[in-house]
A and B are shown apart, each in its own frame.
Chain A
Amino acid sequence: MKHERPPKVIVTKIGFDGHDRGSRVIAACLRDAGMEVIYTPPWQEIPTVVKLAMEEDADVIGISSLATDHLIVPRLMDALRAAGLADIQVIVGGIVPAKDEKVLLAAGVAQVFHPGAALDDIVTAVRALATARHAKQGAAA
């Protein structure tokens, strides 16, 4: 029996904030939705996240952000592009003011989720991004 290719998702935090209740809940939720989740603790360096995404051939990177950690997400996007990993989709969840959300989207972030977002919506969005990446890679993947 050939298995459906499950989405492979990294759930992580960059920057300094350590509150990870949200990211843990999301990781558990994605697992319960049939996805393969690499969950990391907070305080990951950007080069580490890039290396992780490359080694695990992740479909989606989910960044959980409180405080102003989202301000360094554009640096992550640059680093992913430089490593030839521009096809890996990035979503951000957490406290992101409206003006900063525009900046993130312009930097290539696929979607920003705010507090109060329903878990189901996040799961659906992640699955759609992963499916799109699989389709783009085609049967060769």
Chain B
Amino acid sequence: MNKPVPQIAAADLPQAQARWEQEFAAGAGRPEPLRNRSGVEIKPLYTPRDWSGAAYADSLGFPGEYPYTRGIYPTMYRGRSWSQRQLIGLGVPEDYNARVKEILALGGSALSLIPCNSVFRGYDADEVPAELLGTCGTVINHVGDMERALDGVPIGDLSTAMNDPSPFTLLAFELAVAKKRGVPWTRITGTSNQSDCISHFVANHMFFRIALQGARRIVVDHIAFANEQVPGWNPLSIVGQHMQQAGATPAEAMAFTLCSAIQYAEDCIAAGMDPDRFLPRFTFFFDISVSLFEEVAKFRAGRRVWAKLCRERFGAKDPRSWRFKFHGQTSGVDLTRQQPLNNIARVTTQAMAGIFGGLQSLHTDGYDEVFSTPTTEAARIAVATQNILREEAHLTDVIDPLGGSYYVETLTDQMQQKIEAIIDLIDAAGGMYRAVEQGLVQKMIGDSALAFQKRVDAGAETVVGVNKYTVEEDPADYPALDYPDRARMDAYLTRLKAFKAERSAAAVDKALAALAAAAQSKRDNVFAQVVAAAEASATHGEICATLRRELGFGQPLTIV
């Protein structure tokens, strides 16, 4: 005999829900509450009683209009897909050039250059142990290297992202190359990726060469320079990725990133810049973890909070200034060494989270990310993943497809609350610079990292292949690390020596002296002199050493 089908009137919802809760408890018991990585409690079911469309107009609105919850552009991916911007960096400039041409042929639509660790640390290749060169990025030490790296690449038509912190020598080299080729700087588009100096000091990620306050100054100088002379360039990329990779929860990572952005905006305002001029060129860079819905909610909440900050806290009037533009990278921290092909599934999930979250450009990791810079095959799969999601799964057909989900909207609100609470905390500490100098931010991140590791070790957090579903694996089966060819490196070092010998030493000395003078002056634009020095054939190491002398060596601000 059939049970009568209950017809639920709106007023009866509470009772209907209570009925369901009983049935649920009877079937599933009353387990421990589940929490996502940010600590938000996740219920088994969400209903209109959690979030209803009545809130639509105020809290969601339409894509391309305040508060931008559903997307920063009216058309989103229907108008233009997210950029497939794969990080590329390996070996010597010629190797980079070859890989770039491959990726562009496969459909990558924008470039990214990640330099060798030695470059991140501010040294030329001839100043460091040779075995460490070129393993995680491309060695680029001067304008000649940049010319070779970008040989045959139409820099006036493509967007390039230079992963390079203060003093942004890679951008300087690119501008020098543009000048040599007769490409006007007004046609150069792209981003100074990861230019946010605060996150480098917090997460010790790679990138500090110059003391925090010195780096702070150069960031502002280079924003001013770009706004004037390279108007298509995004000089500021504020980074949540490092902090999340260091163990910050998604809510913490978003909050700390916004707090850093607040400091940069306030510095620009204090330097006399107009918010409607510089805010449209602020971009963000986030990690995307495998916690799918949490990431979607994080990004939607981020858009809302940022729009509000721009309009109300910074006083920007142009709606274009309120847009939260961001690049997402699938999180390498979630990937495992065990059963590496599983990482393809993880990267796919992370990419989906970013797409549903409304990012503007996406990098997908190779499945062998845990071992080294990706092999050609892994890089191809990473790009194919994006193509499949867009063109087979049709994820771009609908804008903000998860919008209106009772769960996702509730979670977006909850993530927003967590984010705003942390912003208040940092404000109370005197702003992000002060909080970082006091070690407050580092402590919160360290605590989150330790807590997560303990949950993994206790089995409360599953990592497939590591603490569950493990198989016996022979380490010999793991993909081999691809060490750069030592002979090619040695050839590079020989060419570097020749370059230094053939350039005009007088021009270099003059340019470095001008650079030092600008740094001492406190008012002159330091970055303008970095560009001049790049044009005069000064090397990256020489430029960094000069600025370290004047502005101080970066000291770590870690605490455990």
Q: Give the B-binding residues of A (Cβ under 8 A).
A: 15-21, 24-25, 27-29, 31, 37, 39, 41-43, 67-69, 71-72, 75, 95, 97-98, 100, 114-116, 118-120
Contacts and interface: CB of A to CB of B under 8 A. Distances in A.
9 contacts: A15-B132, A16-B136, A21-B246, A21-B449, A24-B560, A25-B453, A29-B450, A31-B560, A42-B204
B194 to A, nearest CB: 12
B78 interface: no
Contacts of B99: none
Contacts of A37: 560
Interface string B89-110: 0000000000000000000000
Given A16-B128, A39-B560, 6 more contacts: A18-B205, A24-B449, A28-B450, A37-B560, A67-B117, A118-B457
A116 B132 contact: no
B480 A97 contact: yes
Interface in B323-356: 333, 336-338
Interface in B458-476: 463, 466-467, 475-476
Contacts of B371: 95, 97
A119 B457 contact: yes
B558 to A, nearest CB: 5
B302 interface: no
Contacts of B475: 97-98, 114
A115 B338 CA distance: 9
A59 B128 CA distance: 29
Contacts of A75: 129
A20 B243 CA distance: 11
A99 to B, nearest CB: 8
B85 to A, nearest CB: 21
A16 B132 contact: yes
B135 interface: yes
A41 B118 CA distance: 16
B437 to A, nearest CB: 15
B286 interface: no
Nearest to A18: B206
Contacts of B135: 67-68
Given A24-B558, A115-B337, A19 B205 contact: yes
A25 B205 contact: no
Given A25-B247, A42-B204, A67-B117, A116 B481 contact: no
Contact of B117 (A17, A28, A29, A120): A17
Interface in B359-396: 370-372
B558 A41 contact: yes
A18 B204 contact: yes
A120 B457 contact: yes
Given A16-B132, A116-B337, A25 B450 contact: yes
A42 B204 CA distance: 8
B366 to A, nearest CB: 14
Nearest to B117: A16
A10 B267 CA distance: 39
A70 to B, nearest CB: 10
B205 A71 contact: no
B120 interface: yes
B148 interface: no
B282 interface: no
B256 to A, nearest CB: 15
B448 to A, nearest CB: 10
B337 A114 contact: yes
Considering the complex of A and B, which 9 residue pairs feature the smallest CB-CB distances, nearest first? A16-B117, A41-B556, A18-B206, A98-B475, A68-B135, A116-B466, A71-B131, A27-B560, A21-B246
Contacts of A39: 558, 560
Contact of B121 (A43, A72, A100): A43
B249 interface: no
B184 to A, nearest CB: 36
Contacts of A28: 446, 450, 560
A27 B120 CA distance: 25
Contact of B118 (A16, A95, A97, A115): A16
B314 interface: no
A39 B475 CA distance: 30
B337 A72 contact: no
Contact of A95 (B121, B370, B446, B467): B370
B20 interface: no
Contact of B132 (A18, A42, A71, A119): A71
Of B128, B132, B463, most buried by chain A (CB within 10 Å of CB) is B132
Contacts of B558: 20, 24, 39, 41
A97 B205 CA distance: 23
Contacts of B121: 16, 43
A68 B132 contact: yes
A112 to B, nearest CB: 11
A25 B247 CA distance: 9
Contacts of B560: 24, 27-28, 31, 37, 39
B478 interface: yes
B498 to A, nearest CB: 25
A100 B478 CA distance: 13
A24 B446 contact: yes
B539 interface: no
A45 B179 CA distance: 39
A119 B459 CA distance: 13
A21 B333 contact: yes
A118 B246 CA distance: 18
B480 A25 contact: no
Nearest to A30: B560
A116 B336 contact: yes
A120 B476 CA distance: 25
A27 B480 CA distance: 29
B245 interface: yes
**Residue with the highest number of chain B CB atoms closer than 10 Å, among A24, A42, A116:** A24
A117 B470 CA distance: 13
Nearest to A21: B246
Given A97-B481, A98-B475, A116 B338 contact: yes
Interface string B436-454: 0000000000100110011
